[in-house]
Amino acid sequence: MSNVLKIKKGVEQGANELLKFLLESEKVKGIFTLRKMNENGAVSYSLITHPKELQNAVPLFPLMPVNAGKILSGFTLKKAINEPIAAVLRSCELRAFIELIKRTQGSLENFLLISSTCGGVYPLKSLTDGTYKEQVSQYWESAKNAEISSDIRPTCAACEYFIPQQADMTIAIVGKNDLQQECSIFLNTKKGEEFTIGAPGNIVSEDIDTKETAKLREKRQEQKKKLFDELEKNGSGIKALVKTFAACLSCHGCSKACPICYCTLCDFDSKTHEYLPSSHEIELEQKGGIRLPPGTIFFHIGRMIHMVVSCVNCGMCSDVCPVNIPVSTIFSKVGDSLQKLFDYLPGKDIEEPVPFGTYKEEEFTEIGE
């Protein structure tokens, strides 16, 4: 059981009320949250420092233009913030931020982390083709009933980690029958409680895990199995890989959008992967034909090896792919298996080292035998 701040307003207005309180009371210096850019539904993350700018804040809007973990990492890359800032981000964004911090790509210091039980987000495509407008009307209804909203990102529909782990506050959405009348903010940490002293609303005691959240988790797990099974139907091995990545443009947009891929210059964009004409000619002689630019699948496998143990299944990679390759489904399937092998859930605990960052003498001995 934790303390819950109840604000007598619909969940979206309630969230804004909380942000307004935090900024106006000067408990925080700024608020990092999604903000409306225009009437078409375009949103972007913003650091809001003036309360009047909060009128365009849409902290729970079901779109993810960029993984916020990536932005907060850039924000604190040079050094930690020295004044409190509230950041509203989704469970997978928070997990990505924590993975990045483990890799010394940022700092949690002085952040007040506000998250929500997540109903998922729509693909960016639904914004560009305008379909999100119809979809979004049933989003809150599905969330309320602990159902999977239709048309959300495939990896969101298959995400079982929708209850954030490391947030100071969690806005409850999933399975909240009264979310149009009341906003429930779980105060998970002492910090969360301290920052809400004097906030509008009353405090009650509740459990974040409910029958309803268990129900959604079960549905998402089923969906995950279905998604992975479908992927397997496409076959496996080199032939299936060639087919799956046939249309890849080697734009590396997936890597650029990935919160975990933090290298300034990806190895696959470096000189290491520029070949001499003579090497091309030798390969041409051997094979009769070579695909150009070379290394399409090599890149995906290489990237996978580098980051998949920390993959948080946010789905950004699929969303930016210009040729609709289900990158995030593939990566999340491989990530799922690998993370299980190491008994590791990325972003769950900031103290837990990244598997490849520690060495255990007695581990995977079967491989050596």
Please, which of residues 259-288 interact with other proteins by CB under 8 A? 264-265, 269-271, 274-278, 280-281, 284-285, 287-288
Pattern of binders to other proteins over 145-184, x per CB under 8 A? ----------------------------------------
By three-state DSSP, how is residue 336 classified? helix
Inter-residue contact 59 to 39 (CB < 8 Å): no
Q: What are phi and psi of 107, to 5 degrees?
A: -145, 140
Between residue 16 and residue 35, which ones bind other proteins under the rule CB under 8 A? 29-30, 32, 35
Residue with tokens 């080697």: 250
Helix pair angle (296-307, 237-244), 10° resolution: 100
User: Which is closer to other proteins, CB of 213 or CB of 318?
Assistant: 318
Q: What are phi and psi of 306, to 5 degrees?
A: -70, -35
Interaction between residue 332 and other proteins (CB under 8 A): no
Length of the chain counted residue by residue = 369
User: Which is closer to other proteins, CB of 324 or CB of 365?
Assistant: 324
* Residue 242 C-beta: closest distance to other proteins, Å: 7
* Residue 172 C-beta: closest distance to other proteins, Å: 26
CA 142/CA 132 separation, integer angstroms: 15
Beta-bridge partner residues of 33: 46
Inter-residue contact 329 to 321 (CB < 8 Å): no
User: Which is closer to other proteins, CB of 200 or CB of 294?
Assistant: 294
Between residue 88 and residue 147, which ones bind other proteins under the rule CB under 8 A? 124-125, 127-129
Strands 111-116 and 85-88, how do they pair?
parallel
Pattern of binders to other proteins over 202-241, x per CB under 8 A? ----------------------------------------
How many residues touch other proteins under the rule CB under 8 A: the total is 77
**Distance between the two ends of the chain, CA-based, in angstroms?**
48
User: Which is closer to other proteins, CB of 127 or CB of 304?
Assistant: 127
- Of 102, 71, 70, give the one whose Cα is nearest residue 345: 102
Point out which span in 76-84, 214-222, 225-233, 305-313 binds other proteins (CB under 8 A): 76-84
Beta-bridge partner residues of 203: 5
Pattern of binders to other proteins over 50-69, x per CB under 8 A? x-xx--x--------xx---
* Residue 268 C-beta: closest distance to other proteins, Å: 11
